[in-house]
Amino acid sequence: MNATASIATRHDWSLAEVKALFEQPFNDLLFQAQTVHREHFDANRVQVSTLLSIKTGACPEDCKYCPQSGHYNTGLEKQKLLEVQKVLQAAADAKAIGSTRFCMGAAWKHPSAKDMPYVLEMVKGVKALGLETCMTLGKLDKEQTAALADAGLDYYNHNLDTSPEFYGNIITTRTYADRLETLAYVRDSGMKICSGGILGLGESLDDRANLLIQLANLPEHPESVPINMLVKVKGTPLAEEKDVDPFDFIRTLAVARIMMPKSHVRLSAGREAMNDQMQALAFFAGANSIFYGEKLLTTVNPQANKDMELFARLGIKPEEREEHADEVHQAAIEQALIEQKSSEQFYNAAV
């Protein structure tokens, strides 16, 4: 398969085609991925996002990789849903260090009716700061999805994690069909989708290919595709799993770029274990989004200044987000401050 033939957006990938991509010589695969990448993106711009855990630990799901699962003893300190004002302050801090998207994650199987009002206030407040908004709250029903969309949520993150065939080895408390249903609700509501997977769970090459096929063969590609490398946490069933070969990880990023040419492919969890050379290869393979800051929910992440130093060495700049004129932007900031105060009153009255 030549590079130019794969640039068209497709939704009919077969396993044989995707395995053929994976099995190309490494240089050929990266050249093809870089060609596709440059067709749709500035090759020297990377989207910078910040992720905040708004509710930590005691999750009823049994995901074998997750330190937040209530099924495993990982020593994680549990934390109730954060106050709205604390979330908005964290968002303002993230914007100050260069983030353009603020992602909020809660360790839930699904959001409860009592928590939804606070979640919606968070979306409105972060949006008023001029940031793109993203949330991951678990499984959604139609009403919850519509409420998030009405509040102005830009992206909903709901990872498929792995292939349908391997999924049951990793999670038993939620089905693959449940995950696809939530993605369908999100798409139907008009929000954008952030969905990807994790490498290093013990999956095969076929599993990696089938994960990407599930994503690329959706009616519309996810606008954001996070590719995570397992962060092994003591106390989880996968704590002793074999490390992912760095070249295999880069190959997966490259194949994701080729299959979903217009999506942001995010170099996500596991970056702390990657040296600068591996991250540089990841950007060359078509990754053009990272999480920025010291933490990814509960695991460490390269510090912001270290990321900016690497960007400077590579000639990469953060992707800019178009904002309103200065006076309109200032009004949004002022409105966000007003909402912070009202959110505090709202929260205190409720508790």
Question: What does the pLDDT look like over 261-318, one tens digit per residue?
Answer: 999 999 988 788 889 999 999 999 999 998 875 544 344 444 557 888 899 999 999 8
Catalytic residue among 63, 101, 179, 271: 63
Partners of 231 in the β-ladder = none
Structure tokens at 109: 């199987």
Residue 111 has pLDDT above 90, yes or no: no
- The pLDDT assigned to 330 comes to 44
Residues β-bridged to residue 161: 197
Domain spans of the chain, in order of start? 13-324
* 10 carries an active-site annotation: no
Give the whole-number percent of the chain exceeding pLDDT 70: 82
Q: For every residue of 209-265, which 3-state class applies, written as one string? A: HHHHHHHHCCCCCCCEEEEEECCCCCCCCCCCCCCCCHHHHHHHHHHHHHHCCCCEE
Pick out the residues of the known binding site for [2Fe-2S] cluster: 103, 134, 194, 266
Q: What is the CA radius of gyration of the chain?
A: 20
CA dist list (Å): 34 to 85, 214, 238, 283, 288: 42, 22, 33, 9, 11
**pLDDT tens digits along 173-229:** 889 999 999 999 999 999 999 999 999 999 999 999 999 999 999 999 999 999 999
C-alpha–C-alpha distance, residues 193 and 186, integer Å: 7
Query: What is the pLDDT, as a whole number, of residue 4?
Result: 42
Q: What pLDDT score does 75 carry?
A: 62
Output the pLDDT for position 293: 57
Residue 88 has what pLDDT?
A: 93
Could you confirm whether 266 is annotated as catalytic? Answer: yes
Q: Is the pLDDT of residue 151 over 70?
A: yes
For the domain bounded by 13-324, which CATH number is listed? 3.20.20.70
Task: State residue 80's pLDDT score.
Answer: 80
Identified catalytic residue from 10, 45, 101, 134: 134
**257 a catalytic residue:** no
pLDDT at 344 over 60: no
Which of 59, 101, 179, 251 is the catalytic position? 59
How large is the average pLDDT for residues 98-122? 87
Query: Per-residue pLDDT averaged across 145-157, rounded?
Result: 95
pLDDT at 32 over 50: yes
Tell me which residue of 10, 108, 22, 110 sits closest to 66, measured CA to CA: 108
Please indicate whether residue 208 is annotated as part of the active site: no
- Measure the CA angle with vertex 94, ends 226 and 322; round to 5°: 75
Active-site pick, 101, 174, 179, 194:
194
Residues 183 and 214: beta-carbon distance below 8 Å: no
Respond yes or no: is residue 66 known to be catalytic: yes
DSSP letters, 43-90, are TTEEEEEEEEEEEBS-BS---TT-TTBTTS---PPPBPPPPHHHHHHH
Confidence of residue 73 (pLDDT cuts 50, 70, 90): low
CA distance 153 to 235: 34
The residue from 179, 257, 266, 271 that is catalytic is 266
Question: Alpha-carbon distance 301 to 25, whole Å?
Answer: 31
Q: Is pLDDT of 331 > 50?
A: no
Active site residue 174: no
Q: Which residues are known binding-site members for [4Fe-4S] cluster?
A: 59, 63, 66
Using a cut of 0.85, tell me whether the model's pTM lies above it. no
Q: Which two tokens stand for residue 64?
A: 């074998």
Average pLDDT over residues 93-97: 85
Mean pLDDT across the chain:
84
Check residue 70 and give its pLDDT. Answer: 58
For 132, 147, 203, the CA distances from 111, given in Å and listed in that order, are 21, 12, 30
CB 240 within 8 A of CB 232: yes
Mean pLDDT of 52-68: 77
* Active site (annotated) includes residue 63: yes
Binding site residue list: 59, 63, 66, 103, 134, 194, 266
